Amino acid sequence: MQPFAVPASGAMDAFACRAANALLGNAPDAACVEITGGGAMFEFDRDAVFALTGADFDPTLNGRAVPTWAAVYAPKGAQLALAGRRVAWGARAYLALPGGVDVPPVLGSRSTYVPGGFGGLGGRALRAGDALFATQPLAAFDTLRHAGRIWPAEAKPAYQTSPTVRVMVGPHAALFAPAALSQLVAQPLRITSTSNRMGYRFEGCPPLRYAKPLSLASLGVCAGVIQVPPDGSPILLTADAQTTGGYPVIGVVIQADLPLVGQCLPGDRLQFVVCDAVEAIAALRQMHAWLVQGALEDDYTLGLAWRGAGG
């Protein structure tokens, strides 16, 4: 989509989204439902298997607590409710269905770009009464093979309150005053209420000054880029980031730590720390290894217990 000047969009926490799909044996790019902040309810109109990953919003199935980061059997008529943030971290949960949520691809993607009004279900956020369908009928889905599958705790990013996020030095770091990079990483920064899926703005950081007045030609940008406009306030671009920008880039969050960024809400804090390319590549390899490891973990006892509970 980006060659057409359309933001990549998609999951704010791509790791949790892929993990939800892996728990059901879906393709990595199958469509999931991203639930921000909780406060959602779904009713199954037939027997189903689902997976919830990401933030813990105190989910229940017919009033009974269900595990996150697990594939769970739901009988026909069961209601899945997600209350809200139960622990001090977590912004987004991901709901996967067998084969993925059935929505048509647009520009090669099934993600929803709400500002543009396209993709997903009518290019908008879900609302009461919407019907979602799985691309794979349950009759063709190997329920016993997937229900009860759990994701191992050790095969996840370091989700936590006030996460530490690794940053590689950006291409324009030399254009800033000598102290600018040190100021960026000196203390945890608070995400402001003016933040959204396009980018996070911060409080708690002194203005990051340019070494001298400058003007740059626009260049390609993506999620993870930290731009600094003339007022010196850094902006961390996220999933709905524009495709080009003209502000200098002081740093770039490594891909392996973008899931930590995606699990933050306004008011949360995160700490930047500088790393090099060797560490960034090693972290990305570790993340891919977790996706393979987690997809192979099973707890059939859990699965059979849920099947026998009848909701």
> What are the angstrom distances between the C-alpha of 131 and each of 50, 97, 114?
15, 13, 18
Q: What is the pLDDT of residues 282-311, one digit of tens each?
A: 999 999 999 988 876 555 444 444 444 443
* CATH superfamily for domain 164-289: Cyclophilin-like (2.40.100.10)
pLDDT at 311: 38
In the chain, domain spans: 2-152+296-309, 164-289
Using the structure block, give the residue that is written with the tokens 């209601």. 79
pLDDT at 139: 54
* Of 3-7, 106-110, 234-238, 274-278, the least confident: 3-7
User: What is the reported pTM?
Assistant: 0.92
Contacting residues for 91 by C-beta, under 8 A, at least 6 apart: 12, 36, 37, 55, 85, 262, 263, 264, 265, 268
Contacting residues for 184 by C-beta, under 8 A, at least 6 apart: 167, 205, 208, 226, 234, 250, 251, 272
Segment 129-149 mean pLDDT: 73
Q: Tell me what percent of the residues of the chain surpass a pLDDT of 90.
A: 71
pLDDT at 203: 94
CA distance 96 to 193: 29
Q: What is the pLDDT of residues 17-47, one digit of tens each?
A: 999 999 998 999 999 999 999 999 999 998 8
pLDDT at 300: 45
CA distance 22 to 145: 12
CB 157 within 8 A of CB 256: yes
CA distance 306 to 303: 5
Token representation of residue 13: 């926490």
Residue 237 has phi, psi (to 5 degrees) of -75, 140
Higher pLDDT, residue 157 or 135: 157
| H helix intervals, the chain | 14-23, 143-146, 180-184, 258-262, 277-294, 300-309
CA distance 106 to 3: 14
Contacting residues for 107 by C-beta, under 8 A, at least 6 apart: 1, 4, 6, 119
Q: What is the pLDDT of residues 220-246, one digit of tens each?
A: 999 999 999 999 999 999 999 998 999
Pairing of strands 249-253, 164-169: antiparallel
Buried/exposed 45-74: b ≥16 CB within 10 Å, e otherwise? eebbbbbbbbbbbbbebeeeebbbbbbbbb
Residue (of 156, 148, 173) closest to 73 by Cα position = 148
Cβ burial of 177 (10 Å; 0-12, 13-18, 19+) is middle
Strands (E), the chain: 33-36, 40-43, 48-54, 60-61, 64-65, 70-74, 79-82, 92-96, 164-169, 189-191, 199-203, 219-220, 225-227, 235-237, 244-245, 249-253, 269-275
The band of 145, judged by pLDDT with boundaries at 50, 70 and 90, is low
